[in-house]
Amino acid sequence: MGSLTVPHIVPTPAEDANALKKAFHGWGTDEKTLIRILGHRNANQRRNIRHTYFQLYNESLIDRLSSELSGDFGKAIILWAYDPCERDAKLAREALENSKKSVEHLKIIVEMSCASSPDHLVGVRQAYTCLFHCSLEEDIASNVSPSSLAKLLVAVVSSYRYDRDEVDSAIANSEATKLHEAIKTKQLDDDHVNWILSTRNFYQLRETFACYKTTYGNLIAQDILSCGNGKFESVLKVIICCLDSPEKHFAEVIRDSIVGFGTDEDSLTRAIVSRAEIDLMKVREEYQNLYKTSLDDAVVGDTSGDYEDFLMTLLGARN
């Protein structure tokens, strides 16, 4: 369940576009109005506003936001203003560029592959080809190493899973055994591991992971790290976490972005912006369960000003 709140009576796209135009007018920008409008509109409504804004003023709303705003607030509201598939296509491209510095960035591609609906993932691939004139998969193949890791990522990015609760216990048992074999023999790049993780539906996989835990005593994500802690193992672990429980994964992303010295605003923004319309209420519950503290308090404690206001609006905690 998402956390975004939309008013009962929504202004027309022309009224919203007009109010945004006024907020840009004159010296300084009226950030409160931007938050009040965009922070309470769903993806369809934002698309209509973008289109109407362009028709009325012959300028791109996103370009205008980019020229008016900066800092973490600017980045957050621009990410939010994008079409979700286009946003993820851009994030994927950036992640591939940054992955040469740290494998951590590939987590972003795993999230859109393993914690999104099949139709969203296809939309991201379509947007990627439109924006960058090549397929996401060919960019992964030519930017990611070792090749076993590229192969695993290409497989999950190319998935189109069945999206309903259809579980076969016999398959779950036999595939838990296959996964355990691969871990025991340290052959995590086995084709069967790839197939299991990239073709099975989410519910089937959760049953498989549960079988694994029952039969072998440990969580599969833990056992993977016993094979090593290289780039391949760390990405594989994220894949399994995203498939098993997206809300737990994102609770951890938010926690990691906040704890320690300084805040990782890019990760915090990405988690909240990308889940506000999907499952941020569940992420919030999971955060409370895991860390015995409130996600809202954590965000308020680590952010300030318009950035704080905007994130708290997406969390459904402010009007």
Enumerate binding residues for its own copies (CB under 8 A). Answer: 118-119, 122, 125-126, 129, 133-138, 141, 147, 151, 154-155, 158-164, 166, 191-192, 195, 198-201
> In angstroms, what is the minimal distance from the CB of 164 to its own copies?
7
28 is in an annotated binding site: yes
Tell me how far the alpha carbon of residue 234 is from its chain's centroid: 17
- How far, in Å, CA of 284 to CA of 3, rounded? 9
Nearer CB in complex with its own copies: 197/272? 197
Report in angstroms the alpha-carbon separations of 302 from 245, 263, 271, 289. 25, 7, 15, 20
Nearer CB in complex with its own copies: 97/166? 166
> In angstroms, what is the minimal distance from the CB of 150 to its own copies?
8
> In angstroms, what is the minimal distance from the CB of 109 to its own copies?
15
Report in angstroms the alpha-carbon separations of 39 from 63, 90, 201, 265, 308. 18, 21, 32, 18, 12
- How far, in Å, CA of 254 to CA of 308, rounded? 14
316 is in an annotated binding site: no
Nearer CB in complex with its own copies: 147/304? 147
26 is in an annotated binding site: yes
Nearer CB in complex with its own copies: 141/300? 141
308 is in an annotated binding site: yes
Nearer CB in complex with its own copies: 158/263? 158
Largest pairwise CA distance in the chain: 66
104 is in an annotated binding site: no
Can you give the length of the chain in residues? 319
54 is in an annotated binding site: no
Are 51 and 94 spatial neighbours (Cβ–Cβ below 8 Å)? Answer: no
Are 109 and 140 spatial neighbours (Cβ–Cβ below 8 Å)? Answer: yes
Exposed, middle or buried by CB within 10 Å (0-12, 13-18, 19+), for 122? Answer: middle
> In angstroms, what is the minimal distance from the CB of 173 to its own copies?
15
> In angstroms, what is the minimal distance from the CB of 88 to its own copies?
14
- Extract the annotated binding site for Ca(2+): 24, 26, 28, 68, 258, 262, 300, 302-303, 308
